Amino acid sequence: MSMSSVLSPDAIDKAIKDCQAPESFAAKKFFQTCGLSSKSPQDIKTVFGLLDNDNSGFIEEEELKFFLQRFCPAARVLTERETKAFLSLADDDGDGQIGSAEFQALVLS
């Protein structure tokens, strides 16, 4: 499974271009632009699995930093501020990582 099996390459491209400048990343806008917000729970789960690079069942801060690169290898890494903002937006139970249900809730919010 790859991102392009769930999302269209054009939509991914547009979402990446929208946040090319450091500090311009906004998670909800990204999910809308890349089309993930209108996908099925199963598709969102697939994307979660791709972001959870070490298959721990959670997206940790270290993985979150490389969020954009999972969509496009040439994309930039998120800044520390963007990573922390993203994490606090998604991390409802405050354990410092993003679980599958938290990710789903954020994408659909």
Residue 59 CB partners (closer than 8 Å, separation 6+) = 48, 51, 52, 97, 98, 103
Binding mask 54-83 for Ca ion (x = CB under 5 A): x-x---x-----------------------
Q: Total residues at the site for Ca ion (CB under 5 A)?
A: 7
Q: Is 99 helix (H, G, I), strand (E, B) or coil?
A: strand
Closest separation between CB of residue 10 and Ca ion, Å?
28
Nearer to Ca ion, 54 or 80 (CB): 54
- Is 25 annotated to bind a ligand? Reply is no
Nearer to Ca ion, 82 or 91 (CB): 91
The residues with which 58 forms a beta bridge, in sequence order, are 99
Q: Which of 98, 87, 103, 9 is nearest to 47 (CA)?
A: 103
Q: Which residues bind Ca ion (CB under 5 A)?
A: 52, 54, 56, 60, 91, 93, 95
